Structure 1
Amino acid sequence: MSAVESWGAATVPATRTSFVEYRRDAEMETVGIGVAGALFLYVFYSAIRNQWPESYVTMTDAVDNFLSTSLARYLAFRVIPVYVTVVFVTVTAGRIDASASRAAAITVGTHILLTNLRAIVELLRRREHSSAWVNLIAFNLLTCVLLIATAFLAFRTSSTWKDLIPSQEDTVVALWTGALAAILAVFLRNLVVTQHSEDALFERARKDLGPDLWTYAAQRAAVHSSDADLIRAILLAEVIQRPAWTRSLERTKGKVLRRGTYGVAQIGSSTPITDEESIDLLCQEFASYRLPRHPEYGHLLDERFRARIEKHNPNVSFVNQVVLFYERLAGYHLEGTEAKADDGRPVIEVKELRRRGQSWEINGTAVVFEGNVVYSATARGREILRESVLADLGAPNRGEWSVSLPLAAEAVVFEEEPMDEDAWQDGDSRTVKVDLS
């Protein structure tokens, strides 16, 4: 055997061994880069800690409040970090001769496994399925598809951004800097987490519900002899959890998977229903229900009230929000009659008093015949005005009323217009006086 042949025979196995080692190293680098990308996404979303849509939004959930407001915000939150991470992984893998496509697949696959697929598994393992169960599964499946499409787009467009991706040496420095910045950001977020005020949350829900459905809820509550404020409080809590854009997705989903929760009241149904139909069903559920109140003092018995709401929806955050909104709508009044209506509240309530320019604006509620509330204003001991106002609902339902008085008025008395001589057997118990001096 010649020297050349001997050398060739000796180098072929070595070359093959080097190639195998090269491939093995490339595979390890591919997996390492893919896992690193998934780990970054895990740390990022763990730091944010959003729980919507699986859990109800509360005033302290600053992130959830922000995301649930619009579809664009939610999509940006779920798509942009994944897109940027997959671009980074793809470009980095290509520079070191690792498999860019496999690294990207590992990143997005692991991320989906730890987030939406994990949520789906937890939903499937629940022994009790709520009426929103199908909607939540469909929502998570749709998000999985969206993330896969995002990763594919990032892979295909990664070359566009390659000049912006730092080299390996710069990446190490950037990662350490980013890690320290992330730790500081998480600390500051937990220290000064933004809390949405009750007013902001209430106004957001009112705007989402809209004036037409707000009025419709009171009208249908009157038909079914249910408490209008309670119905509205439930609707407000539901529209915060399922704003208009998510309800639109639910209706679209209903064309394929028909069973789910629908409408502003989020009522479970085997087929899609309208907002109005969901309100009707909610009013029927609470038909003739009278809130538990103290027989002597008239205040709401909180635990009994919560127990009834839990029958409708046992979620703790939901119950808390319903109680919060109900107290805002019905729980407080500036002045009220001694006489109580069937719902345990004063027959006539004065809820709000404010000055608007050169006049007083007074708002309240009443349970009076045909909604007719009589009021008389006085100034310097003399009556300067005596008129009546119609509440939007008449007895036995509680209606809302509003009056405007001249700024010169020093006091005003509200009373139910007597129907006959026996109507005043309670003396002045069905009148309420408001001091404006």
Structure 2
Amino acid sequence: MIIVYLICTTGKAIYDMIQKESRHPNWTMMSIYHVISIVVVLFVGTLAVLLRSLFASWIPGQQDLLIAIWAGIFATLLGAAAHHILKPTRVESHGVVDVLRKDVGETAWDYLTKSTPNQPYLQDLARAILLAECQQRPKWFRRLERLGGKIWGKGTYGVAQAAADSPITDEQSIDILISHLRALPVYSATFNGPYSDEFSKLCRSWNDDPAHARRIGEFYETLQSRREASES
């Protein structure tokens, strides 16, 4: 069961990571995570086999097991019903932006604003990229990347997840992002809309994941609507 489980889960994840044409920007950390997962699963599974005699008295008989299964089915149905009734209201796009902005941090957010004066289209695009990157890499994960980067060096760092040979600050990652965007036709891409092929191509020049490009487009659209509402 352990071997089948590892093949279907961690094994598949490793295979998919190796088969991709473009290597994951944080493949080193992902590899370490997969190795640790395999070690933990094997250790726990082996421990369970070796100590099975100690837990034999805990295993219910057939009749008790059948009763437990039926009780579990009813409990699941009741739990699903309670979850449906009590589930929280879905956070809309503006709420997601507010939550992610806190993760970015006011210092980094203000630094980006000051770095793109009188360029609203460039500023909103850069902000959208920050929000999308921080949604994928929250603050605690970015801190781990910086710590790990002191060992393996090259990777993507900061709120903008900018590629660098060693860990960099959030402000440095924003500088790299803005410099990258200024060398591209940002105005025409944003003029055509966040769901145009040109906009998607622009986003994928920073992160080649199509799904990530769509997230950037959604955040850009939300930021644009906020700007228009504040200006009207």
Structure 2 letter corresponding to 1:119: A
1:226–1:300 Cα change, 3 Å: closer
Does the CA contact (< 8 Å) of 2:104 and 2:159 recur in 1?
A: yes
Does the CA contact (< 8 Å) of 2:129 and 2:216 recur in 1?
A: yes
Does the CA contact (< 8 Å) of 1:262 and 1:272 recur in 2?
A: yes
**Deviation by residue 1:221-269 (Cα, 9 ceiling, x = unmatched):** 4599981221111011111111112222222332333333222112233
Higher relative contact order structure (alpha carbons within 8 Å, sequence separation ≥ 6): 2
Match of 2:193 in 1: 300
| Structure 1 residues 142-181: aligned runs within 5 Å | 142-148=36-42, 151=45, 166-175=60-69, 177-178=71-72
Q: Are residues 1:244 and 2:139 paired?
A: yes
Match of 1:13 in 2: none
Does the CA contact (< 8 Å) of 1:120 and 1:140 recur in 2?
A: yes
Match of 1:115 in 2: 9
Structure 1 letter corresponding to 2:174: I
> In the alignment, which of 316, 319, 322 is matched to residue 216 of structure 2?
322
Structure 1: distance between partners of 2:88 and 2:17:
29
Structure 2: distance between partners of 1:150 and 1:223:
58
Q: Are residues 1:263 and 2:165 paired?
A: no
Q: Are residues 1:286 and 2:172 paired?
A: no
Structure 2 letter corresponding to 1:300: G
Structure 1: distance between partners of 2:62 and 2:152:
48
Gaps of 5+ in 1: 1-34, 36-105, 335-350, 353-363, 365-433
Structure 1: distance between partners of 2:36 and 2:180:
32
% identical aligned pairs: 29
The two structures, once aligned, show a CA RMSD in angstroms of 4.0
- SS of the residue 1:271 aligns to: coil
Structure 2 letter corresponding to 1:292: S
> In the alignment, which of 80, 87, 112 is matched to residue 217 of structure 1?
112
How far off is 1:161 after superposition? Answer: 7.8
Give TM-score, length-normalised by structure 2: 0.75
Rg larger for: 1
Structure 1 letter corresponding to 2:161: Q
**Deviation by residue 1:354-377 (Cα, 9 ceiling, x = unmatched):** xxxxxxxxxx4xxxxxxxxxxxxx
Structure 2 letter corresponding to 1:132: N
- Which of the two has greater strand per residue? 1
How far off is 1:142 after superposition? Answer: 3.2
1:112–1:301 Cα change, 3 Å: closer
Structure 2 letter corresponding to 1:267: A
How far off is 1:287 after superposition? Answer: 1.5
Structure 1 letter corresponding to 2:220: Y
**Deviation by residue 1:394-426 (Cα, 9 ceiling, x = unmatched):** xxxxxxxxxxxxxxxxxxxxxxxxxxxxxxxxx
How far off is 1:307 after superposition? Answer: 2.4
**Deviation by residue 1:205-226 (Cα, 9 ceiling, x = unmatched):** 1111110111112233459998
1:232–1:293 Cα change, 3 Å: closer
Does the CA contact (< 8 Å) of 2:133 and 2:160 recur in 1?
A: yes
Structure 2 letter corresponding to 1:308: L
Does the CA contact (< 8 Å) of 2:200 and 2:210 recur in 1?
A: no
Does the CA contact (< 8 Å) of 1:225 and 1:288 recur in 2?
A: no
- SS of the residue 2:188 aligns to: coil
Structure 1 letter corresponding to 2:187: L
Q: Are residues 1:141 and 2:35 paired?
A: yes
Does the CA contact (< 8 Å) of 2:93 and 2:222 recur in 1?
A: no
1:146–1:263 Cα change, 3 Å: farther
Structure 1: distance between partners of 2:212 and 2:133:
8
Structure 2 letter corresponding to 1:129: R
Structure 1: distance between partners of 2:207 and 2:105:
23
How far off is 1:299 after superposition? Answer: 6.9
1:228–1:219 Cα change, 3 Å: same
Match of 1:231 in 2: 126
Structure 2: distance between partners of 1:125 and 1:203:
36
Structure 2 letter corresponding to 1:255: K
Structure 2: distance between partners of 1:315 and 1:175:
43
- SS of the residue 2:163 aligns to: strand
> In the alignment, which of 125, 143, 148 is matched to residue 253 of structure 1?
148
- Which of the two has greater helix per residue? 2
- SS of the residue 1:321 aligns to: helix
Does the CA contact (< 8 Å) of 1:224 and 1:288 recur in 2?
A: no
Give TM-score, length-normalised by structure 1: 0.43
Structure 1 letter corresponding to 2:205: K
Structure 1: distance between partners of 2:188 and 2:156:
28
Aligned length: 228
Structure 1: distance between partners of 2:21 and 2:64:
50
